[in-house]
Copies of this chain bind each other. A is one copy, B any other.
Amino acid sequence: MEKNYSCDCEVIHEEAVNEVRSQLLSKDEYIGLASLYKLFGDATRMQLLHALSQREMCVCDLAVLLGVTKSAVSHQLKALRLSNLVKFRRDGQIVYYSLADDHVKLIIEMGLEHINE
């Protein structure tokens, strides 16, 4: 009997693999999930999100708070915006950013829970 897997081993528990395979999400869903959490996977962005979880802030304030350039903040905010994690409003020259919904707070809290165990 011929097997042709793209991996370098045989199936040990075929019924387990089939059972789980039927429950898997689509490739795109995993990519979407990963893209979302990738944004939480950088200390600067995490700090940015945590700051915004407390109040709306402008780019300049965020730059001062984190001690990085406006450019760096702006680049990161753009990424967060594209994934609908933050929203913004413009008032004159100043652009105020805030969290788009409550998921961010929950995700940060859950992460802290896991770490403090």
Interface residues of A (CB under 8 A from B): 5-13, 16-17, 19-21, 23-25, 27, 29-43, 45-47, 50-51, 54-55, 57-58, 60-61, 63-71, 84, 94, 101, 103, 106-108, 110-115, 117
Contacts and interface: CB of A to CB of B under 8 A. Distances in A.
10 contacts: A10-B60, A20-B51, A30-B50, A33-B46, A34-B40, A36-B114, A37-B37, A37-B40, A38-B42, A106-B110
Contacts of A115: 29, 32-33, 36
Contact of A12 (B60, B84, B108): B60
A110 B112 contact: no
* A interface: dominant SS: helix
Copies of chain A in the complex:
2
Given A24-B50, A41-B34, A67-B7, A19 B103 contact: no
A55 B45 CA distance: 33
A82 B69 CA distance: 33
A70 B103 contact: no
Given A7-B68, A34-B40, A34-B42, 15 more contacts: A7-B66, A8-B70, A10-B64, A11-B61, A11-B64, A12-B58, A12-B94, A13-B58, A13-B61, A24-B51, A30-B43, A33-B115, A38-B41, A84-B117, A107-B107
